[in-house]
């Protein structure tokens, strides 16, 4: 793994989600931030988070990012970190997390569970975060895992669009989906996904660096945790590729209506919404 840029940002607690969202739009690859419920419990008026960027990506957007933070945050500082520092920060912070009513557990790779401890879960996903989005702690990822847990996945083909760390593909595979194809347009993701799949001892996931127009196979379930604008842009491909269900996450509540309009325009009629904080996910019956 190469160096990365670490931004430490302090801000008023009411700005938590706006800042996180904007950082995702700027191409932030990973966060160390608190769960929304935890933020809501905090008493203090200011909070802080750490955001990690690929150095080249950051250099290209530095002016825009810093201008945004000067107006939206109380303060921020940057430093270049070595892979070792990232690992240590993360290890100090990452706690196991249970989602989907306790049926899925996201577990730090360095604290694996015994077979007896694993048995009660539908899936235990081991994550050793590299610089790819998808540590399982973000509300948009949790909404996806919850949606997957509600579907009968055994023997279903799944396409994971914008796979990041591979977390959703690995989760789907562990819950019985087969085959699973997962892709991301960021070439940094593919090796991280392969490592995470090996860590989880799952086979049968085809990880690729590509975009939706280069995929031709119809899949029973298409899942995508990307922002609303990208969903709208690639909606014709969802139409082409989704056989039974389409799960879309990463949608801010205020953009839900826009995504629903695009779904209707492309002939998708039945979409159920779920929410976490300001985020919405849509589970669409094809
Ligand atoms: C919010 S992350 C989601 C990661 C992971 N699936 C999760 O749920 O935690 C979005 C991912 O989509 C990728 N992405 C953004 N636009 C894309 C596009 N047009 N095609 C493929 N991947 C894209 C990004 O590189 C990023 O890894």
Alpha-carbon distance of 286 to 278, in angstroms, equals 26
Which of 165, 226, 232 gets mutated to test ligand 1 (max ligand atoms within 8 A of its CB)?
226
- Looking up tokens 């509540």 gives 253
The answer to whether the CB of 185 is under 6 A from ligand 1 is yes
pLDDT tens digits for range 7-37: 989 888 788 878 888 888 888 877 776 554 5
Which of 104, 138, 162 gets mutated to test ligand 1 (max ligand atoms within 8 A of its CB)?
162
- Is residue 6 within 8 A of residue 50, CB to CB? The reply is yes
CATH code for the structural domain at 130-285: 3.40.50.150
At residue 165, the 3 state secondary structure works out as coil
Pick from 143, 36, 129: which is nearest to 99 by CA? 143
Dihedrals phi, psi of 135, to nearest 5 degrees: -90, -5
Same fold, 4-92 and 130-285: no
Query: Any binding-site annotation on 21?
Result: no
Query: Any binding-site annotation on 225?
Result: yes
Distance 183 CA to ligand 1 centre (A): 8
Tell me the pTM. Answer: 0.80
Query: Any binding-site annotation on 85?
Result: no
- Looking up tokens 């990041």 gives 164
The answer to whether the Cα torsion of 137, 141, 144, 149 is positive or negative is negative
Query: Any binding-site annotation on 78?
Result: no
Tell the residue nearest (CA) to atom 24 of ligand 1.
Answer: 162
Distance 232 CA to ligand 1 centre (A): 14
- Is residue 248 within 8 A of residue 262, CB to CB? The reply is no
pLDDT tens digits for range 60-100: 999 999 999 999 999 999 988 876 666 666 666 677 889 99
Q: Starting at the earlier edge strand, list the strands of the sheet with 75-81.
A: 30-32, 46-53, 4-12, 75-81
Q: Where are the domains of the chain?
A: 4-92, 130-285
Q: Which atom of ligand 1 is nearest to the CA of 24?
A: 1
Each of the 286 residues of the chain gets a pLDDT tens digit; together they read 567 888 989 888 788 878 888 888 888 877 776 554 555 566 667 788 888 888 888 999 999 999 999 999 999 999 888 766 666 666 666 778 899 999 999 998 888 899 999 999 999 999 876 655 667 778 899 999 999 999 999 999 999 999 988 999 999 999 999 999 999 998 888 998 999 999 999 999 999 999 999 999 999 999 999 989 999 999 999 999 999 999 999 998 889 999 999 999 999 989 999 998 888 999 999 9
CATH 2.40.420.20 for the 4-92 domain, yes or no? no
The answer to whether the CB of 250 is under 6 A from ligand 1 is yes
């Amino acid at each position: 793994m190469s160096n990365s840029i670490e931004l430490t940002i302090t801000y008023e607690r009411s700005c938590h989600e706006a800042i996180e969202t904007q950082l995702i739009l700027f191409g932030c690859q990973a966060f160390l931030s608190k769960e929304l419920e935890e933020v809501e419990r905090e008493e203090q008026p200011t909070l802080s988070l750490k955001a990690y960027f690929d150095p080249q990506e950051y250099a290209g957007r530095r002016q825009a990012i810093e201008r945004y933070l000067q107006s939206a945050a109380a303060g921020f500082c940057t430093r270049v970190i070595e892979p070792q520092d990232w690992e240590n920060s993360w290890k100090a912070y990452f706690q196991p997390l249970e989602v989907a009513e306790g049926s899925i557990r996201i577990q730090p790779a360095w604290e694996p569970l015994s077979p007896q401890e694993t048995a009660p879960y539908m899936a235990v996903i081991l994550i050793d975060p590299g610089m790819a989005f998808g540590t399982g702690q973000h509300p948009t990822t949790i909404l996806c895992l919850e949606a997957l847990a509600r579907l009968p996945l055994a023997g279903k083909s799944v396409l994971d669009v914008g796979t990041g760390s591979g977390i959703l593909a690995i989760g789907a595979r562990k819950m019985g989906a087969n085959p699973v194809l997962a892709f991301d347009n960021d070439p940094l993701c593919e090796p991280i996904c392969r490592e995470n799949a090996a860590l989880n001892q799952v086979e049968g996931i085809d990880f690729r660096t590509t975009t939706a127009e280069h995929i031709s196979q119809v899949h029973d379930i298409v899942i995508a945790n990307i922002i609303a604008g990208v969903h709208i842009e690639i909606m014709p491909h969802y139409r082409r590729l989704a056989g039974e269900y389409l799960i879309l996450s990463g949608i801010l509540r205020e953009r839900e209506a826009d995504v629903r309009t695009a779904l209707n325009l492309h002939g998708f009629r039945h979409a159920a919404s779920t929410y976490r904080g300001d985020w919405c996910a849509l589970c669409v019956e094809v």
